Structure 1
Amino acid sequence: MSKRKIKRNTIGVLLVLTALYLSLIAYFCYAVLFYGSRWFADSYNTRVKMDETNPRIIPGSIMDRNGVVLAETKDELVKNPTTGKDEKYYFRVYHNEAASVAHVVGVNHSKYGRMGVEAFYIYYLMGYNNSLIEKIYQKAFLPQERGNDVVLTVDFRLQDYVSGLMRKQGKKGSVVLINPKTGEILTMVSHPTFNPNDMERVDDDSLVNRATQGLYPPGSIFKLITAASALENIEDIRQRKFNCTGAVEFDGERIQCYKGEAHGELDLTQALVVSCNTTFASLGIEIEWKDLLKTGKRFGFNDDFLFSDIKVKPSSLPIGYRTSKQEMAWTAIGQGKVLVTPLHMAMIAATIANDGIMMEPKLLYKVVGRNGDIQKQLEPDVYRKVLDKENAEALKNMMVKVVLEGTGKQAQSNKITIAGKTGTAEEGSKDESNKNIAWFVGFAPVDNPTLAIAVLLEDVGQGETGGTQAAPLARKVLEKAVELGY
């Protein structure tokens, strides 16, 4: 081999290695930028663990938006069983009714670790965001450094009220209420819950935050996505008439409306009002996977959801060029392999209410320093523009009619005008013992929406629906929120 060829090959190898090295640096920078705060907040990060006997930093308090203390650090003298001497121990104490906000606030426990706000906002609670001057001052003049107080967007009164409703209903599930204009999470309840003051009696199922970590088939609430895609991709959809005979078949797969009811001739609005499965299944096949997936992605499906304020599992819309007609039909009515979280569905309802603009969900109201100075304050962020205003308005009007005339009648209120969509999904096998999942998503008041809601009840049983179970619960929550001034 000639020297010239060896030189050329050597340069080629060096260029490849340099490109790989630069790619690695770029990926590392990307990972630190987008995942650094999550790594820092991880419960396995022992560097931010609170020492019970001699903590270097006393974590700050957690409060609701009205200043109600939900978690704080206290100390007391406890006899050391080894030495027999009284020693000062530090520990986190939670509100007397902490179970109603347990999945939001979380817990900071020496044995069970950290979760919720106690984990995700540990950076602020431990004061790592303090200025260099403040850090030097605290090290020099305070016996122990002090973290900062975190004020959340949730209202404890709402949390406690909704938690009581869920407990009374006796079903597993979740309720999420947000402000569609700002993305503020006003309440986020998951049931069953737990008492962070008594972690010895906690079971694993109650630790799951169903609002952000629970993935469920959406059932008919997904028809909002299918309707949005139809409005965007089918030219004559507003004038189109469909004929529902109660059931339809696609390549041998039979899909029927609830109890096989034949709805007759109806347009897109009427189809959503009565939640006609045959119409939306047919639309799913006509729209085809590319356009339905495109619409779904704009609504946040298959996103990683790297929000600054909260961890949320990504919702799944797994369709592609290999998706069969049968699968497209089931997907279009919210069955098949589609999975969503209650928080994401609240965001979707909020997007329609907010003229097609999806706001990033916010849980952090402000961070308050040792001297009362506000170090960080809520700043609403647009996540993305999902729909044009005309199509958002069309969906709004459809949801108004759902509550006035259709499956959501039990969400009607004489105190506030509510729009929404019901959903009932089957989970697991379709045998007689299988239990249904009931949904209601919506917003209020209709003329100027300041509230968007998602209600999920995951074990309502056969014969019960989103319209009979979730809709009345949503009405009560929305009425309470209005009563409290939201």
Structure 2
Amino acid sequence: MKTTGKRSAFLFFFILIFVGGLSFFLFEYGTEGGKWAMQPYNAHLSGTSTTANGTVEDRNGVTLLKIQNGKRTYSDDRLVRKSTLHLVGDTNGDISTGVQNAFKTELTGYNIVTGLADVKAAKQGGTIRLTVDSDLNKLAYRELDGRKGAAVLTNWKTGEVLCMVSTPTFDPANPPSDLKTNSSYNGVFVNKVISGQLTPGSTFKILTTAAAIQNIPDLDSRTFYCNGSIVVDGNPITCVNHEAHGTMNFQQALAKSCNVTFAKLAIEMGKNRMESAVNALGLNSTYTIDGLVSAKGHYDVTNASNNQLGWSGVGQYTDQVSPGYMVRLLGAVANGGTPEELRIIQNVSGDLVTPGKYGIPKTGQALMSQSVAQRLKTYLRGDVSTGYGDDMFNGVKEVCAKTGTGELGGEHNNNGWLVGFSADESTPYAFAVVVQQTAGYGSQTAGPIVRELLSAAVANKD
């Protein structure tokens, strides 16, 4: 009897393992089957199947990728191929955010029951039309001119991403053999717009300003004094080139990008209120673009000294953001505090595509109140009207913007930023551009790229 009982227990145990394993497999098959079917090691991608057919187009119908009988054909234009790499993806699937990797099911018409078997003679994979204009991508790529960085342009009223470029890049039709060994390609598989974690420099003062609006009632009636530096905890916090800005109101302090003023404000508000405000603005959270999950930014002053807290309010210390986060935040400011969620897919057609899944604008959760958004808009408009000048944006009206220089130490090692939006609803563009490993400031490095992108977007407006 004892032996029978032991055998029964063992049998029950193995049945339990079998049922558990089968359940796990069926769950994974149901949720990941499309991805399994389209892995490069499967035969249908090497041309032995006739069912893995699909197309990726830009917003104007320009073909970026065609998959026919498993064979991939990219655009005829080398600059289009390189500038849209991080959107379209690569053949090996190393770029996880690329359309051909992230949207395999939509692209190939994979079905959970039939897989890629052609049970319907007329069955076709999908055509994915993106919101991006490949001409704008080419322009941004040319303007980056071999430098590492990223550029993103959106319509803040609809959430459509019109341009998304990340560098370094490569030609997916002719990938170099030393991609994983040549240091010049470091980070090439990362789409910095979505997944970058970059020091923001003074663009972070937008977030510190939002915190100050909510926590310092007399912000606009105060005056601030700067002699070029202050000493906190025995260590200096300095303005660029130790420039003494003198006596200013808050709008002037922002327009002059006074590090001393913003460090003082962060220290005055303290760790808890700074972290609470930044968290409410979504920096330490992910967001999605048509199901693609972004990287989180980083703001953590839990163990910071007062000196480090001051530098965090300036956009240094351990602060990190992505261009995608910044353009989403600025889009929320333009839209009264609430973002239209970013999207890269305009529509998807195909025999097995669920109608209405893509291409529908979606309003996100509010990042700030309407009153906070309006004050930020006023301050950022003042940056342009009293600082940079409207000529910087080639006549695009009502631009609200902030430059930044994330200092990483050493020569030629800055992040040059320019972020902002046009408040004119006839040109509802939000932008974020960063140029890495530069000795120049954001206005010098990112500024000309933004100018050209805005000009082209206005000229080619739908």
Alignment of 1:107 onto 2:83? no
8 A Cα contact 1:368 1:376, kept in partner = no
Q: Distance in 2 between matches of 1:442 and 1:249?
A: 32
1:319 aligns with 2:301: yes
Deviation at 1:43, TM superposition (A): 10
User: Could you tell me how far apart the structure 2 residues matched to 1:165 and 1:404 are?
Assistant: 25
**Among candidates 119, 126, 133, match of residue 140 of structure 1:** 119
| CA–CA separation in structure 2 for the residues paired with 1:48 and 1:92 | 14
1:453 aligns with 2:431: yes
Residue 336 of structure 1 pairs with residue 317 of structure 2: yes
**Alignment pair present for 1:228 and 2:207:** no
The answer (yes or no) to whether the contact 2:136–2:456 under 8 Å persists in 1 is yes
Shift of 1:200: 3.8
Shift of 1:457: 0.2
Q: Equivalent residue for 1:86?
A: none
Aligned equivalents of 1:296 and 1:448: distance in 2? 30
Per the alignment, residue 166 of structure 1 pairs with 144
Residue 337 of structure 2 is aligned to residue 351 of structure 1: no
Pick closer, same or farther for the CA change 1:414–1:181 going to 2, 3 Å: closer
For the residue of structure 2 that corresponds to 1:385, the secondary structure is coil
Q: Percent identity?
A: 29
**Structure 2: which amino acid aligns with 1:178?**
T
Offset, 1:212: 2.0
Distance 1:187 1:260, change over 3 A: same
Alignment pair present for 1:185 and 2:167? no
Instruction: Give the aligned partner of residue 342 of structure 2.
Output: 361
Q: RMSD in angstroms over aligned alpha carbons?
A: 3.1
Is it true that 1:65 corresponds to 2:65 in the alignment? Answer: no
Q: For the structure 1 residues 309 and 253, does the alpha-carbon distance in structure 2 shift closer, same or farther, using more than 3 Å as the test?
A: same
Cα deviation, residue 410, structure 1:
6.5
- Structure 1 counterpart of 2:4: none
Once residues 336 and 49 of structure 1 are traced to their aligned partners in structure 2, the CA distance between those partners, rounded to angstroms, is 49
Q: Alpha-carbon deviation of 1:137?
A: 12
State the AA in 1 paired with 2:450.
Answer: A
Structure 1, unpaired ranges of 5+: 1-24, 76-89
SS of aligned partner of 2:164:
strand
TM-score in terms of structure 1 length: 0.80
Q: Quote the Cα distance in structure 1 between the aligned partners of 2:152 and 2:414.
A: 20
- 2:172 corresponds to which residue? 196
Deviation at residue 54 of structure 1 after TM alignment: 2.0
Residues of 1 paired with 2:287 and 2:36: CA distance? 17
Going from structure 1 to structure 2, the CA distance change for 1:39 and 1:358 (only over 3 Å counts) comes to farther
Q: How many residues align?
A: 429
CA drift at 1:382: 2.2
Q: Which amino acid aligns with 1:51?
A: L
* Aligned counterpart, 2:132: 154
Instruction: Sort the Cα spacing of 1:45 and 1:303 in 2 relative to 1 into closer, same or farther, 3 A.
Output: farther
Q: Report whether the alignment pairs 1:55 with 2:38.
A: no
List runs of 5+ in structure 2 lacking aligned partners.
Answer: 1-19
The answer on 1:378 being equivalent to 2:354 is no
Is the CA contact 1:43–1:113 (under 8 Å) kept in the aligned structure 2? no
Q: Is the 8 A contact 1:71 1:95 kept in 2?
A: yes
**Counterparts of 1:137 and 1:440 in 2: how far apart (Å)?**
45
Paired residues of 2:40 and 2:91 also in contact (CA < 8 A): no
Separation in 2, partners of 1:255, 1:481: 40
Is 2:241 the partner of 1:240?
no
Q: How far is 1:46 from its partner?
A: 7.0
8 Å contact from structure 2 (residues 110, 352) kept in 1:
no
Letter in 1 for 2:405: T
After TM superposition, the structure 1 stretch with the greater mean CA deviation from structure 2, 390-399 or 333-342, is 390-399
In structure 2, relative to structure 1, the CA distance for the partners of 1:114 and 1:301 (3 Å cut) is closer
Q: Tell me the residue number matched to 1:485.
A: 461
- Per-residue CA deviation, residues 368-406 of structure 1 (Å, 9 max, x unaligned), is 014999654412222220111122111111111212222
Change (3 A) 1:113 1:314: closer
Give the secondary-structure state (helix, strand or coil) at the position aligned to 2:433. strand
Separation (CA, whole Å) in 2 of partners of 1:396 and 1:327: 28
Structure 1 letter corresponding to 2:316: Q
